[in-house]
Amino acid sequence: MKVILLNNYSMTAQWEKWKEENYEYPSHHLWGATTLPKHGIDVELMPYEKFDFLKKISEKVKILGDLDQQLRLLFGKYDYDIIYSGNQGSTYFLAILRAIKILRKPVVTVQHQSFKKSIWSLLFIKIILSSYDRLFCLSNGLREHLIKEFNVPENKVSLLEWGIDLPCYDKIKMKNTVDTIKEEENSFILSAGRTYRDYKSLIKGFKNISYPLRIYSPEEPFFKKNSEMKSNVKIVTDYVSWREILTEHAKAYAIAIPLDTTQPKSYINVLGVTSLLDAMGMGKAVVMTRTIEPCIDIEKEGIGIFVEPGDEKGWEQAISYLLEHPDETREMGNRARRLCEEKYNLEVFTSKLSKLLKDALR
């Protein structure tokens, strides 16, 4: 069996990084390409970009997906049994062709989002999303929403929780920073990430907290405008490698993931999951903005605290609670790591994915 993999970023670039770093680069960003062969499934990566004008059209007519990749796949000489997309937005046109029986090969995708119920979302899901042979949802809440609100058939919608390449995290030296809470120069609250972030609320939440906060993010206008930034808040806008950022995770007391839930146009969107899994893989407690359907319920799992969107006081209270309860913070981190070892890792993800792909061919 052979699949061809498309995504909304370059899979071939990720593959080259993985090879360049002697197969130690975190390969979960390849969505099973490195691990599916162990399950009898060969993977070919679709080159991400060739025709700029098609990419530009795709940006303007997003309802058709990535025309550059899709048209090259249709008219190229590719041998595959199934089309697999790491993000639903890459293959909408192929799904339509599948529905009208022009395309004979199954089309499946990892589903990251759902929408508020409206005439437009109903039409979109009926005409396009329902045309996929299978939708692999990253959270159960997302799956249930598609079934209950949009009547997507249950047999088309499966739960597929993402998982990290855990051995890469094991190569980073772990540090028990919870026991060194008084040595503030050796530890800090860490926040890293660039997509849909609400650093404004997080920074304001530190107004009455003296413990160090370290933010790794591309430059944002808010950083320059905020003349009242406290000295314990450090912002790093330079590029850092994955090893460097995981080393910072190892040093951190806990991880903060502030999310701007007002930005995504979709109603349910799996936000912050990469940062959350990084924190869990490094065995750290988490404070995170609550979303409508969180990918992982950090409070239910006992690995962190939710803060309501834009709640500056909530950030202050949650961070203060962790600082005042080091034993509980340590145990949250331990639970988070165990969850990755048991459930949220690349091996478990690939095992489930391989079964879903094989089932889609039946």
pLDDT tens, 30-76? 999 999 999 999 999 999 999 999 999 999 999 999 999 999 999 99
**d(C-alpha 86, C-alpha 36), whole Å:** 14
Query: Do residues 107 and 70 make contact, with C-beta atoms less than 8 angstroms apart?
Result: no
Residues 142 and 274 reside in one and the same domain: no
Q: How many CA atoms lie within 13 A of 211 on its CB side?
A: 21
Residues 161 and 172 reside in one and the same domain: no
Domain encompassing residue 172: 166-342
Residues 158 and 173 reside in one and the same domain: no
| Residuewise pLDDT in 10s, the chain (362 residues) | 999 999 999 999 999 999 998 888 999 999 999 999 999 999 999 999 999 999 999 999 999 999 999 999 999 999 999 999 999 999 999 999 999 999 999 999 999 988 888 899 999 999 999 999 999 999 999 999 999 999 999 999 999 999 999 999 998 866 555 554 444 456 899 999 988 999 999 999 999 999 999 999 987 766 766 656 788 999 999 999 999 999 999 999 999 999 998 876 667 788 899 999 999 999 999 999 999 888 899 999 999 999 999 999 999 999 999 999 999 999 999 999 999 999 999 999 999 999 999 999 98
Give the domain CATH number at 27: 3.40.50.2000
Residues 196 and 328 reside in one and the same domain: yes
State the residue for tokens 């409070």. 299
Residues 141 and 123 reside in one and the same domain: yes
Total of domains in the chain: 2
Residues 319 and 262 reside in one and the same domain: yes
Residues 193 and 303 reside in one and the same domain: yes
Give me the DSSP letters along 163-221: -B-HHHHHTSPP--GGGGTT-GGG--EEEE--SSB-HHHHHHHTTT--S-EEEE-S--H
Residues 112 and 225 reside in one and the same domain: no
3-state secondary structure of 103: coil
**d(C-alpha 129, C-alpha 142), whole Å:** 13
Residues 12 and 126 reside in one and the same domain: yes
State the residue for tokens 């800090």. 188
Q: Among residues 253, 263, 265, 266, which one has the least CA distance to residue 289?
A: 263
257 Cα distance to chain centroid = 12
Residues 170 and 94 reside in one and the same domain: no
Tokens representing residue 325 in the block: 């309860």
Q: Among residues 165, 163, 226, 217, which one has the least CA distance to residue 195?
A: 217
Residues 215 and 351 reside in one and the same domain: no
Residues 195 and 296 reside in one and the same domain: yes
* pLDDT 10s digits, 1-12: 999 999 999 999
